[in-house]
Amino acid sequence: MLALDIENLDVTFPGLSSPALAIGRLSIDAGSRVAITGASGSGKSTFVNIVTGLERTRQGRIRWNGEDIAGFSESRRDRFRAANIGLVMQEFHLFPGLSALENVLLPARLAGAATADIIERAHALLSTVGLSRSGQKIETMSRGEMQRVAIARALLRKPGVIIADEPTASLDAESGEAVGDLILDLAIAEGSTLIVVSHDQRLASRLDRRITFGAGRIKEDSATTAGEAA
Ligand SMILES: Nc1ncnc2c1ncn2[C@@H]1O[C@H](COP(=O)(O)OP(=O)(O)OP(=O)(O)O)[C@@H](O)[C@H]1O
């Protein structure tokens, strides 16, 4: 399980008069489950990109269990992410022509980490996410099934944190609900910290803590706000 500590983060982009994201201090406990919400353009994707190390910040500290990834090179950030962060995005980033199983295993294969144990875990995870045909080609699957494959892939290396960016936004209501529940149930079962960016109020309400961004800042945090609005 990973804990996150952010200090003095300030992310600016050319052409923007104010920071896309400015966080003085934010701590997320190991094993906690947090929803990030906020209007379009409030900085949610920037937050995901920074805490996963997909983007670099020059200003601030991003500590995962005390390790500041802001000081890492790009290749070290990539290695850290592969080993520690299970990422689930709105678009699934799966590879057509490959089966469900091959998609789950691809990052591990590329990292030279597809051991017999990992292959066994890939089969088990596909079954846990409710997919019985591991050899089915990805392009023949429904969108809900594709997201389940992406979830199995994200969990393969037992990440200390699962970070999901609008995981249900491109799904219909029914499969979105099922996928949201699945991510939460798996995070609990695996003992992973969970951070979910979502407009889905039902999913957000099932998590321990809700943080709302507004104009690149933390506008509300249920961990610190007394008498939080329902
Ligand atoms: N690479 C970039 N260059 C310039 N501006 C950027 C860049 N990335 C993001 N921004 C700006 O930073 C702000 C925050 O964007 P971000 O994508 O984080 O918002 P968001 O809350 O995820 O929005 P949405 O819900 O619409 O995805 C926006 O004003 C956006 O235009």
The domain tally of the chain equals 1
Q: Which of 113, 119, 144, 115 is nearest to 134 (CA)?
A: 119
The pLDDT of residue 170: 84
pLDDT (0 to 100) of residue 154: 93
Quick one: 223 exposed, middle or buried, by C-beta within 10 A (0-12, 13-18, 19+)? middle
- Taking CA atoms only, the protein residue closest to ligand 1 atom 25 is 40
- The rounded Å distance from CA 111 to ligand 1 centre is 31
> For a pocket test of ligand 1, which of 16, 52, 198 has the largest count of ligand atoms closer than 8 A to its C-beta?
16
Sign of CA dihedral 220, 88, 174, 178: negative
pLDDT for 171: 83
Task: Please give the pLDDT value at position 51.
Answer: 97
Q: Which residue has the higher pLDDT, 30 or 228?
A: 30
Cα distances (Å, whole numbers) of residue 161 to 2, 138, 173, 212: 6, 25, 26, 20
Residue 230 domain-assigned (yes or no): no
Are the C-beta atoms of 11 and 59 separated by less than 8 Å? yes
pLDDT in tens, 56-71: 988 999 999 999 999 9
Token pair recorded at residue 185: 């149930």
Residue 228 included in any domain: no
Provide φ and ψ at 36, rounded to 5°. Answer: -110, 125
Does residue 171 form part of some domain?
Answer: yes
The CATH number for 116's domain is 3.40.50.300
pLDDT band at 162 (very low <50, low <70, confident <90, very high): very high
CA of 16 to the centre of ligand 1 (A): 10
Q: What is the mean pLDDT of the chain?
A: 92
* Distance, CA of 106 to CA of 87 (rounded, Å): 14
Residue 230 above 80 pLDDT? no
| 70 within a domain of the structure (yes/no) | yes
| Inter-residue long-range contacts of 90-96, CB under 8 Å, 24+ positions, other chains counted | 90/165, 90/166, 90/167, 90/169, 90/170, 91/170, 92/143, 92/146, 92/147, 92/149, 92/150, 93/150, 94/138, 94/146, 94/149, 94/150, 94/153, 95/138, 96/137, 96/138, 96/139
pTM over 0.90: yes
pLDDT at 228: 46
pLDDT band at 221 (very low <50, low <70, confident <90, very high): very high
In a domain, 215, yes or no: yes
- Statement: residue 17 has pLDDT above 90: no
Q: What is the pLDDT of residue 200?
A: 87
Q: Assess if residue 157 is contained within a domain.
A: yes
Rounded to the nearest 10 degrees, the angle between the axes of helix 100-110 and helix 143-155 is: 30
Residue 229, in any domain of the structure: no
Q: In this prediction, does ipTM exceed 0.90?
A: yes
Residue 224's pLDDT is: 85
Pick from 100, 105, 101, 65: nearest CA to 85: 65
For 70, what's the count of Cα atoms within 13 Å in the CB-facing half-sphere? 20
Domain membership of residue 95 (yes or no) is yes
Give the number of other Cβ atoms within 10 Å of residue 4's Cβ.
Answer: 20
Measure 49 CA to ligand 1 centroid, in angstroms.
11
pLDDT value of position 227: 47
Confidence of residue 53 (pLDDT cuts 50, 70, 90): very high
Q: Which atom of ligand 1 is nearest to the CA of 15?
A: 4
Looking at the CA of residue 197, tell me the nearest atom of ligand 1. Answer: 22
- Say how many Å lie between the CA of residue 39 and the centre of ligand 1: 11
pLDDT recorded at residue 115: 93
* Ligand 1 center from residue 44 Cα (angstroms): 8
CA of residue 42 to ligand 1 center, whole Å:
7
The string of pLDDT tens digits covering residues 73-98 is: 999 999 999 889 999 998 889 999 99
Range of the domain at 134: 4-221
Predicted confidence at residue 192, as pLDDT, reads 95
- Within 6 A (CB) of ligand 1 lie 13, 16, 20, 38, 40-46
Give per-residue pLDDT as tens, 112-158.
888 999 999 999 999 999 999 999 999 999 999 999 999 999 999 89
CB half-sphere exposure, 53, CA atoms < 13 A: 24
